[in-house]
Amino acid sequence: MPPRTIIEPFRIHSVEPLRMTSEAERREAVIGAGYNLFSLRSEAVLIDLLTDSGTGAMSSEQWAGIQRGDEAYAGSPSWYRFEAAVKTLFPMPHVIPTHQGRAAEKILMTAIGGPGRVVPNNTHFDTTRANVEATGAEAVDLVIPEALDPALEHPFKGNMDLARLDAFLAERARDVPAVFVTITNNSGGGQPVSLENIRGVRKLCDAHGVPLFLDACRFAENAWFIREREPGQGARDVADIVRDIAALADGMTMSAKKDGLANIGGWLAVRDDELAARCRNLLILTEGFPTYGGLAGRDLDAIAQGLQEVVEHDYLRYRVRSTGYLGDGLRQAGIPVMRPVGGHAVYIDARALLPHVPPLEYPGQALAVALFVAGGIRSCEIGTVMFGRHPDGSERPAALDLVRLAVPRRTYTQSHIDYVIEICAEVASRAGDLRGYRIVAEPPALRHFTARFEPLAS
Ligand SMILES: *Cc1c(COP(=O)(O)O)cnc(C)c1O
């Protein structure tokens, strides 16, 4: 029997002090920020679960890579190490480095998007959707219906709805420059896509003559879920599962701030020579020369090393279990969370926890502010603040009001997570006392980043 306790598969080599704050200090900080957690100085935050993007800890070998980094403008050895590491997992002929994922999206969509085009995806991440729409093309989400029920258990809640994709392609294939599969499905809570489902998407793409691209930001977490949950995959090496996924795709976009285990970076990879040439020309306009893209040589080395570490089974077992541990702890405290817990974040159903706060009084914002004041925990509202305002000026409740607790990679220990669970349970025990908010100032778009709020009188 293997030991029951799954430990962090690392020890700490360099520490970053956390600044303890009092509730009074936090209350003052959040008032100064207009009750918007994006507007806080991060020193006021004790446990920062705003995002898992670029916020993880690098390993000693990655820091050694930073020293090894070679800053030659063209043909640096760092570039060759980066390219080799990418191609070990994703053997595609053309790898184009970018400063982060959205730059890869921008370049690809500029090359293949445009008015009249339409891009299906299981669920577009927000920057992906924005980059599709910025070209005048349309973004369509075709995730399975199970994904939309927060309480439903399903092993692969990120799967594409193959029947709907087939019907869609039958009608629109001529207008589809690529079908995208996002692994894991970020907007759906970090839910994985099965290998069988990606094979099904490939078959439909072949039948309708359209390319298949991966939004591969959390490819390693997705491959780990395949190993754990998909029949016949349990004895396999995760790196082999990743290569199986890669073999099904014509190209990919990637943010190295996620499963690159780096603080910055990304890439675009494609098989088609002509498309690669067009993308490289765009790269030179906005990112840089094709052997560094938007990155320093040292960043290329940090990513090259990160790609070796991210497919280690001990790392992935710890990663997925530690996120699951947070979800289990919250559930045991009676807090409604989206099921099953995904790879990188736990989502609290704020609408269910605060039924007395109507969606247009922002229950997710109320909970997020309360978690910060009570314990210095920074989370992210994903609900009516983020999605409620429409281009025609109207405001409507979002489909769900969630609070996301995203877990940075290799950064917090189990006692930090125990603390988070304790604070959440304490706040949940007085959820009935929490009051809603109103927005006193908001920009015309993407209001959640800069809006200012005021608490409603109790
Ligand atoms: C983060 C992310 C992106 C964009 O990457 P950035 O590095 O933040 O620009 C695209 N798709 C998904 C699924 C992501 O999680």
Q: Does 222 share its domain with 110? A: yes
Mutation test residue for ligand 1: of 217, 380, 404, the one with most atoms within 8 Å of CB? 217
The distance from CA 165 to its chain's CA centroid, rounded to whole angstroms, is 23
Closest to 185 measured CA to CA, from 330, 308, 349, 345: 345
Q: Does 163 share its domain with 110? A: yes
Distance 130 CA to ligand 1 centre (A): 12
Pairing of strands 266-270, 94-98: antiparallel
Amino acid at 417: I
Identify the residue whose C-alpha is closest to ligand 1 atom 11.
125
Distance 186 CA to ligand 1 centre (A): 9
Three-state DSSP state, 243: helix
C-alpha Rg value of the chain to the nearest Å: 22
Q: Does 215 share its domain with 184? A: yes
pLDDT single digits (tens) 16-37: 999 899 999 999 999 999 999 9
Distance 124 CA to ligand 1 centre (A): 10
pLDDT single digits (tens) 261-294: 999 999 999 999 999 999 999 999 999 999 999 9
Mutation test residue for ligand 1: of 186, 191, 213, 295, the one with most atoms within 8 Å of CB? 186
Parent domain of 262 = 60-309
Distances (CA, A) of 139 to 119, 129, 176, 217: 5, 6, 10, 19
Ligand 1: atom nearest CA of 187 is 13
452 has a pLDDT exceeding 90: yes
Mean pLDDT of 81-98: 98
The distance from CA 195 to its chain's CA centroid, rounded to whole angstroms, is 19
Q: Does 213 share its domain with 360? A: no
Ligand 1: atom nearest CA of 100 is 7
Helices (H), 388-439: 414-429
Identify the residue whose C-alpha is closest to ligand 1 atom 12.
125
From CA 272, how far away is CA 276, in angstroms rounded?
A: 6
Distance 216 CA to ligand 1 centre (A): 9
Ligand 1: atom nearest CA of 104 is 9
Q: Does 70 share its domain with 143? A: yes
Domain containing 365 — which CATH number? 3.90.1150.10
In a domain, 166, yes or no: yes
Let me know: does 198 contact 236? Beta carbons within 8 Å: no
Let me know: does 317 contact 327? Beta carbons within 8 Å: no
Supply the pTM of this predicted model: 0.95
Which of residues 289, 309, 329 is at a domain's end? 309
Identify the residue whose C-alpha is closest to ligand 1 atom 5.
101
Domain containing 211 — which CATH number? 3.40.640.10
Mutation test residue for ligand 1: of 254, 255, 264, the one with most atoms within 8 Å of CB? 255
Ligand 1: atom nearest CA of 103 is 9
Which of residues 254, 278, 309 is at a domain's end? 309
Closest to 107 measured CA to CA, from 222, 219, 213, 260: 213
pLDDT single digits (tens) 327-343: 999 999 999 999 999 99
Distance 105 CA to ligand 1 centre (A): 9
Q: Does 43 share its domain with 134? A: no
User: What confidence score (pLDDT) does residue 247 get?
Assistant: 98
Q: Per-residue DSSP letters for 73-111? A: SSS-HHHHHHHHHHHHHS--SEEEEESSHHHHHHHHHHH
pLDDT single digits (tens) 41-50: 999 999 999 9
The distance from CA 177 to its chain's CA centroid, rounded to whole angstroms, is 24
In a domain, 134, yes or no: yes
The distance from CA 349 to its chain's CA centroid, rounded to whole angstroms, is 18
Q: Which residues line ligand 1 (CB under 6 A)?
A: 53, 100-102, 125, 127-128, 182, 186, 215, 217, 255, 257-258, 266
Distance 333 CA to ligand 1 centre (A): 32
CB atoms within 10 A of CB 212: 20
* N- to C-terminal Cα separation, the chain: 54
Distance 215 CA to ligand 1 centre (A): 8
H/E element, 399: none
Distance 20 CA to ligand 1 centre (A): 31
| Total structural domains within the chain | 2
Count of residues in the chain: 458
Which of residues 309, 343, 365 is at a domain's end? 309
Q: How is residue 446 annotated by DSSP?
A: -
From CA 239, how far away is CA 250, in angstroms rounded?
A: 18
188 has a pLDDT exceeding 70: no
Q: How is residue 230 annotated by DSSP?
A: S
pLDDT single digits (tens) 376-415: 999 999 999 998 988 788 999 998 899 999 999 999 999 9
Identify the residue whose C-alpha is closest to ligand 1 atom 8.
101
Closest to 372 measured CA to CA, from 420, 416, 332, 415: 420
**Tokens standing for residue 233:** 């995959």
